[in-house]
Amino acid sequence: MTATARRANGTGALLNVEHLTKHYPIRKGVFSRVSGQVHAVDDVSFWVEEGETLGLVGESGCGKSTTGKAVLRLTDVTSGAISWRGQRIDALPAREMRAHRRELQAVFQDPYSSLNPRMRAEDIVAEPIRNFEDRSPAEIRERVASLFERVGLRADQMVKYPYEFSGGQRQRLGIARALAPNPRLIVCDEPVSALDVSVQAQVINLLMDLQDELGLSYLFIAHDLAVVEHISHRVAVMYLGKIVEITDKRTLFANPQHPYTEALLSAVPLPDPKAARKRIILAGDVPSPVNPPAGCRFHTRCPVAQERCRIEAPAMRLTAPGHLVACHLRDGEPVEAP
């Protein structure tokens, strides 16, 4: 990894997220009284460099998709700062936010429901171009046709409707739509988890080729560690609304520091059936995000938890250059914002 990834905060990065928090109120009764809060994302900080892929992994319900939606401003944040090229975008009015959407695009998880069933493929891909550019219909068609070819679809498929495509082809359509306005960063929210394994590899390779060619950055949200290891430069691990560890891919997979990351990695099946590995089996379930545990959120399941973990929430510590871990048991210099 380059030296930029080894710094301790994201000032000046393409995308910089600081202390992002998103709580959903739970309403009850006739008068919709707020009776509690779902702590979907709690004090999450990370940054994405130009041309880099940051993988965001975690179990379902850990807040990784909410983080992606917050970055795209598809949901309002409770607190925290999201900066795009150094400018705060977390509180921009919808009208001003639209100007930034051109550079900040998204690929969604479900290739079936993320494409309007009543629009032709070419209109789906042309939509962002029409939103941002004043071009003639012929120019738009030409651009759409070249995008189709770029993502591995044929130009004669442009007149088809989404139901006429397979799952993998639909996801290629979704990628073509995201590429249409020439973005700098694409938030990929589990883009391959709904696809067959063989198709997954094609789509992942397409995304990596596009990155090489266009210098794109990705915020790649996934729960599949093998996929994340393949595509990411750096990886952030989330547990119950918090990032517990963030470092470059090689270090994370070779030398995980947080007990949760260790447990997660030990659950990845090995290709060799005879190879023995000590699996760390976590007891119990993920606690409810309505009442997250005090102290370290992982202490209820952590095999090495101590008294301190139950009381005090661990700060992010810089254990090695570019390696941030939120655990009391690891030595390192605490950092204000990672």
Partner 1 sequence: MTAVTTLPAPVSTSPTLRQFKEAFRRHPTAIVGGIVLLLMILLALLAPWLGTVDPQAVTPIKRLKQPSAEFWFGTDMLGRDVYSRVVYGARVSLSIGIAVAFFSILVGLSIGLVTGYLRWLDAVVMRVMDGLMSIPPVLLAISLMALTRASIENVIIAITLAEVPRVVRLVRSLVLTLREQPYVEAAVAAGTSLPRILVRHILPNTTAPLLVQGTYICASAMITEAILSFIGAGTPPNIPSWGNIMAEARSLFQIAGYLIFFPGVCLSLTVLAVNLLGDGMRDALDPRLARRM
Residues that bind partner 1 (CB under 8 A): 69, 72, 74, 94, 98, 101-102, 104-106, 108-110, 113-120, 127-128, 131-132, 141-142, 145-146, 149, 155-156, 158-161, 163-164, 174, 177, 180-181
C-beta of 118 vs 274, nearer to partner 1: 118
d(CA 249, CA 242): 19
d(CA 53, CA 72): 16
C-beta of 82 vs 324, nearer to partner 1: 82
Neighbouring C-beta atoms of residue 106, cutoff 10 Å? 22
Q: How far is the CB of 62 from partner 1 (least distance, A)?
A: 20
C-beta of 144 vs 309, nearer to partner 1: 144
CA quadruple 298, 302, 304, 310: dihedral sign: positive
d(CA 131, CA 331): 50
d(CA 274, CA 212): 37
Are the CB atoms for 105 and 112 separated by under 8 Å? Answer: no
C-beta of 201 vs 214, nearer to partner 1: 214
Q: How far is the CB of 139 from partner 1 (least distance, A)?
A: 10
Q: What is the CA radius of gyration of the chain?
A: 21
Q: How far is the CB of 145 from partner 1 (least distance, A)?
A: 5
Q: How far is the CB of 25 from partner 1 (least distance, A)?
A: 14
Q: How far is the CB of 132 from partner 1 (least distance, A)?
A: 6
C-beta of 141 vs 223, nearer to partner 1: 141
15-28 vs 79-84, strand pairing mode: antiparallel
